[in-house]
A = this chain, B = another copy of it.
Amino acid sequence: MTETAPRPTLEAVAARAGVSRATVSRVVNGSEGVRERLAERVRRAVEELGYVPNQAARSLVTRRHDAVAVIVAEPETRVFADPFFARQLRGISKELTAHDNQLVLLLTEDRDDHERVGRYLAGGHVDGALVFSLHIDDPLPGLIQRAGLPTVFGGRPDWSGGRGDVVYVDSDNRGGARDAVRHLLGLGRSRVAHITGALDQTSAVDRLDGYRDVMAGADPRLVVEGDFTAASGERAMRELLGRCPGLDAVFAANDLTAAGALRVLREHGRRVPEDVAVVGFDDMLPIAEQTEPPLTTVRQDIEEMGRLMARLLLRELDRTTGTDGPPSGVVLPTTLVRRASA
């Protein structure tokens, strides 16, 4: 049954309905101005024949594809270490679907992939792109710029010297970090350490900045660099315990890191939160609820971020004319979720 039954064409429907192709096209595309009687006849013919428009033919003339590329730059540890990625995709998918757009997923791992992606984007298969997980000096933005595709970034890109017209959606990493640290301070802690994320990503830098906003003038040895993995959380925690045995709180750049830190704390006989209070970031459910004790953390609405990215892009695509660019950056709020660890 590999026989691909030759699908009916517009022509066939037109013949059956006794009208011209143009009329069928109008009905199918919902154009106004077709007498109801005819429209009805056409609809019946479509139904009977099981007609489905050929997208390739349509794209050829409209130059629209109703498809958006989602580009995820790997190896992005977080992407495959937690459900972050899936959540965001879900948000994007929902929004895209609601507007009859398809989601073309492009995962990139190395240089070659970048070239491939560049070619793909240039090939005009999609109307726009959603891009994630940029690291500092990633070549992707350049490639995309060159392809001249409307693009929305997930997470603030690190273009310090940047042009102002970059559209992105980000969480309020800095504000969330401040909340976390203030919460710790509010608990009466004073020697609050911070385990950072991978500092080649703006999210990690922003969280560190938030920490510093509140802890200005604190002992710099209270900050140790991590990379968002649980392993880095363990390593960093050990180092912290060695350097500053007196610390009484830790703000970890994400939940995975916090989980690692928690383990080391327990190993060393420090009780959480009695001796050391711990706060994470992300509120990655299967992690945050699973730790011992459950993690107090900063939640960001991942799915909403995805949805918003898609919405911004679609809006941009629909702007047939009006040249008033969309907002260049949207920052979503975060909320502190209190569990047992702090």
Contacts and interface: CB of A to CB of B under 8 A. Distances in A.
Contacts of A123: 52-55
Contacts of A235: none
B93 A54 contact: no
Given A57-B60, A113-B97, A148-B1, A104 B104 contact: yes
B80 A97 contact: no
9 closest Cβ contacts across the A-B interface?
Answer: A56-B59, A93-B107, A56-B60, A52-B123, A105-B105, A103-B105, A52-B122, A80-B86, A56-B56
Nearest to A287: B286
Nearest to A121: B52
A3 B148 CA distance: 8
Interface in A78-99: 79-83, 85-87, 89-90, 93-94, 97
Contacts of A289: 230
B125 A102 contact: yes
Interface of A: 1-5, 7, 50, 52-57, 59-60, 63, 65, 67, 70, 74, 79-83, 85-87, 89-90, 93-94, 97, 102-107, 109, 113, 116, 119-120, 122-125, 148, 150, 230, 256, 259, 263, 266, 285-287, 289-292, 319, 323
Contacts of A7: 122, 124
Contact of A124 (B55, B87, B107): B55
B148 A55 contact: no
Copies of this protein chain in the complex: 2
Nearest to A149: B4
A301 B57 CA distance: 40
30 contacts: A1-B148, A2-B148, A2-B323, A53-B123, A54-B60, A54-B123, A56-B56, A56-B124, A56-B125, A60-B60, A67-B104, A79-B86, A80-B83, A80-B86, A81-B286, A83-B85, A85-B86, A89-B105, A90-B107, A93-B107, A97-B113, A102-B120, A104-B105, A230-B286, A263-B290, A266-B292, A286-B286, A286-B287, A287-B290, A292-B292
